Structures are given as C-alpha cells and as structure tokens.
Amino acid sequence: MAAHELGIVGAGNMAEAIVRGVVRAEVLKAGAIMAADPAAERRRVLEGLGAACTAHNADAAACPRVLLAVKPQVLPRVLTEIAPAVRPQATVISIAAGVTTAAIDQRLGGRGRIVRVMPNTPMLVGCGASAIAAGPRATPEDLDWTQRLFAAGGITCRVDEALLDAVTAVSGSGPAYFFYLIEAMVAAGVAEGLPQDVARALASATCTGAGRMLSETGESPQVLRARVTSPGGTTQRAMESLEAAGVMDALIAAVRAAAERSRELGK
C-alpha cells in the first residue's frame, strides 16, 4: 500500500470528480490513488481513470492520506471497519455532510489528523466550490495539501468547522437549487411556445452567462440585477411577480432547512 499516496474510501460521483480533477491538474498521478468500493461498476469507473481499486475499505484506509467519500448515514459503520487500518499519523479527509470531526475522531480512536471538507458536484466539470475546516490534530501542512487536492476541481476556502452546516446548505446543496430554477425557466418557455430544446439551451446559457458575469465583474448580484431591470419593462414585471410570490423568502427558508438537516446528520 505504500505506493499509493491517497486512499479513497467510497468511489461515488464525488470521488470520481476529485480523481478527474487531481489527475487533470497533475496534483497526483492516477497510479498514486487507490479507491475502495463494494460496487464493481464504480470501481470500473475509477480504474478507467488509472486509479487502483479494491473492494476492501481497509486497503484504501492504510494509505498515508485517506479521503472518506461515503454517505453520512453509512460513515459510522465504515469508520469502525477501517479504524485498525488507519495510520496514527495519516491525514484523514471527510466529505460527509453533517458528520463532525469530533465524531470521526471518536470512531477512529484518535488515529489520524482529521480535516473536513464540503465540496459540491460541479467539481465534475472543474467548477466546484469546496470549504475546508481543520479537525483534531490537523496541521497547516494537512490543510495546504487538502486545499491543493480540492483546488484541482474549483475554488476553495477555509472556514471554522462550525460554519460547515451553512456551507452545506449554500454551496453543497446549491447546485440543486440552480437546476430547479432551470427546470422552471424551461417549463415556462415551453408553455409560451418555445420548443423544449430551444428553451433548455436558452435557459442554460443564460444562467451560465449570468454566473460568469457575477464572478468576472466583481459586481454584487443586486447591482447586476438592477442593470437588467429597466423601469416599467419586462424584467421589472417578472421581478414584481417573484416578490409577490415570496420567492426570496422561500429560498432563504430552503437554505435554512438544508442547514438544519446537516446539523441533524451530525447528531
């Protein structure tokens, strides 16, 4: 196992995104990665990227750096399983929503230096957003290495662990809010007579372009929205309809609900 620098426990979509990113950015060579998953089809995906794969979690957990990429509901069982294999000085990185580093530390019996990260699915296309928090015994070097790993798939930031539930609600779950908006825009376009493919292409390009404007101009969303909203025009009528329907309040409530669910998962 010494030949593998990073062991990934769980080979789901997020693990795939991370492997694609780090190999593309040459942060690690694919041959330095070992991934473990009980599902043969998921192992085949990562094997196709050049990673070594195994059905045994303990094999991946024996690497000097370990990425826990399993669902929060199964993480406690997996931690109990791999604890004997984790090296005392390993860097252990978890991306499980809601599960605190203290809970991970307890299950591992004080083994490893623990870091917690909340990434999101746009890492699959190199446009992810990941927040990183230090846990028990994590060193500045552990945080730097973790940041390089996730920066291969998008932007990164460091936060206190207490803020990760909010991060989960904003950026972790955020892509789903965006896709929901696209669904509504497409449905509305079709209802107004546009062909499905045309409505989807227009809505997708519009939202992608708007996001790029926000990131590249440095302007606030309020300023950019005001520039589109001419007095008495079509956009103003649309915004008035959204405000009357309480869309802003509904979105804030949705983010709050996601944050609360993240806290529940950690209990």
> Mean of the pLDDT values across residues 71-82?
94
- List pLDDT tens digits, range 202-222: 999 999 999 999 999 999 999
**What span, in angstroms and rounded, lies between the C-alpha atoms of 38 and 179?**
30
| Helix (H) or strand (E) segment spanning residue 36 | strand 33-36
Task: Assess whether pLDDT exceeds 80 at residue 1.
Answer: no
Tokens 């990073």 locate to: 6
Q: Does 183 share its domain with 224?
A: yes
The answer to whether position 1 is within a domain reads no
% of the chain residues with pLDDT over 70: 99
pTM for the predicted model, two decimal places: 0.90
Q: Is 66 within a domain?
A: yes
Residues 169-186 have a mean pLDDT of 96
Asked if residues 161 and 135 have their Cβ atoms less than 8 Å apart, the reply is: yes
- pLDDT, one tens digit per residue, over 104-118 is 999 999 999 999 999
Same domain, 126 and 205: no
CATH number at residue 134: 3.40.50.720
CA distances to 1, 78, 115, 146 from 112, rounded to whole Å, are: 17, 15, 10, 14
Q: Please, what is the average pLDDT of the chain?
A: 94
Among 164, 186, 203, identify where a domain stops. 164
- For residue 265, what pLDDT is reported? 80
